């Protein structure tokens, strides 16, 4: 069966598997104090243009979001996110479990626009009862968004300006950051992200690693005792070198970018093919996730031969479905998929 359900169907890129097979019975110090983690952290900090950044390796995305957001917020603060944001919907209330309200604002194409956040904040502070309400403390965005779309550098800069104006933090969920950075539409790079955000993570799980996310805090003073907080959240991996080794591999010789780039290229071929066949796109995505609107009976027929994601009901007779490509997607599989459509 052809599977395009997600970009984390495969175990890991061969380069990563290869490095694991080499370390054998080597002994390493636990909790991230091993040479692989140190090397990986340094490579990432440098790639971010922030050689002193705090870089810590975590296991998964929901964990990273809840931990970093909780660490960045004061107890009485909440986080502003798009209603379609991952933390708003699909993380089982992990942010609220840490005690923080998610203030969900409508976005467009998965994105929060600076102007509407600005207006929300102006209205908030104009409301004389605002001290009875959750204080906004942070803006959460994902890049690419849950719909594969991208914030431009100008849009990111505008959000940063809103943060500065109202003394909020800016946090970026980079579960699929590789696909954003290597998108043909990207007008930003990793240094821009690090310059604009108070914290973000570079996703490994969905970009070729076995598992793992690299949390980056450009200004290490911002989160004292972050190690303790990782432990407190149950997010500290005993054998930290398992993460370090992967990110060291991903950030050597541009592997992270190559893996992501391949997935984007495969998605572009798919997109062209879908366009040619006249499919309606739900959204115009320049990254590895493609969303189309499909008639329900056709969808059911397709589901017998192909794995894909049922995204949301479109209308009585149509559904939005998602195809995701990965570093392992082969062009022949795209062709096969197109032949079924």
Interacting residues with its own copies between 195 and 234 (CB under 8 A): 205-206, 210-211, 225, 227-229, 231-234
Least distance to its own copies, CB of residue 7, Å = 10
CA distances from 117 to 71, 84, 86, 145 (A): 22, 15, 18, 17
d(CA 134, CA 74): 11
| Torsion sign over Cα 235, 241, 244, 246 | negative
237 binds its own copies, rule: CB under 8 A: yes
Binding to its own copies in span 38-67, by CB under 8 A: 59-67
CB-nearer residue toward its own copies: 63 or 261: 63
d(CA 158, CA 155): 5
CB-nearer residue toward its own copies: 176 or 196: 176
Among 26-34, 47-55, 262-270, 293-301, the segment contacting its own copies (CB under 8 A): 26-34
Residue 321, C-beta contacts closer than 8 angstroms, at least 6 positions apart: 291, 292, 294, 299, 308, 309, 310, 311
297 binds its own copies, rule: CB under 8 A: no
Do the beta carbons of residue 304 and residue 2 sit within 8 Å?
A: no
166 binds its own copies, rule: CB under 8 A: no
68 binds its own copies, rule: CB under 8 A: no
**Closest to 256 in 3D by CA, of 213, 199, 198:** 213
CB-nearer residue toward its own copies: 101 or 153: 101
Binding to its own copies in span 167-196, by CB under 8 A: none
Least distance to its own copies, CB of residue 128, Å = 7
Binding to its own copies in span 89-148, by CB under 8 A: 89-94, 96-102, 104, 123, 128-129, 131-135
Among 24-32, 47-55, 154-162, 294-302, the segment contacting its own copies (CB under 8 A): 24-32
d(CA 323, CA 257): 20
Residue that is written with structure tokens 């911002």 in the block? 222
């Amino acid at each position: 069966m052809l599977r395009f359900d997600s970009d984390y169907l495969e175990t890991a890129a061969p380069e990563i598997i290869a490095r694991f097979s080499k370390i054998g019975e080597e002994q390493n110090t636990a909790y991230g104090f091993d040479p692989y983690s140190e090397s990986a952290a340094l490579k990432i900090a440098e790639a971010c243009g922030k050689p002193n950044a705090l870089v810590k390796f975590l296991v998964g995305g929901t964990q990273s979001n809840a931990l970093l957001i909780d660490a960045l917020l004061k107890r009485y603060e909440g986080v502003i996110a798009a209603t379609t944001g991952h933390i708003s919907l699909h993380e089982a209330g992990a942010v609220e479990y840490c005690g923080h309200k998610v203030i969900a604002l409508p976005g467009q194409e998965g994105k929060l626009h600076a102007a509407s956040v600005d207006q929300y904040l102006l209205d908030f502070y104009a409301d004389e009862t605002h001290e009875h309400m959750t204080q906004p403390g942070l803006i959460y965005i994902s890049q690419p968004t849950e719909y594969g779309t991208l914030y431009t550098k100008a849009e990111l800069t505008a959000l940063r300006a809103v943060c500065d104006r109202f003394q909020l933090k800016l946090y970026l969920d980079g579960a699929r950051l590789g696909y954003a950075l290597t998108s043909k539409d990207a007008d930003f790079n990793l240094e821009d992200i690090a310059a604009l955000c108070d914290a973000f993570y570079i996703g490994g799980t969905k970009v070729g690693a076995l598992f793992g996310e690299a949390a980056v805090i450009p200004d290490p003073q911002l989160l004292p005792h972050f190690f303790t907080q990782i432990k407190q959240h149950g997010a500290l991996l005993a054998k930290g070198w398992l993460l370090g080794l992967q990110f060291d591999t991903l950030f050597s010789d541009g592997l992270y970018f190559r893996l992501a780039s391949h997935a984007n290229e495969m998605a572009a071929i798919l997109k062209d093919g879908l366009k040619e066949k006249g499919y309606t796109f739900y959204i115009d995505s320049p990254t590895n996730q493609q969303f189309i609107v499909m008639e329900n009976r056709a969808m059911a027929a397709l589901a017998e031969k192909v794995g894909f994601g049922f995204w949301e009901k479109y209308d009585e007779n149509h559904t939005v479905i998602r195809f995701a490509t990965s570093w392992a997607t082969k062009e022949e599989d795209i062709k096969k998929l197109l032949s079924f459509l």
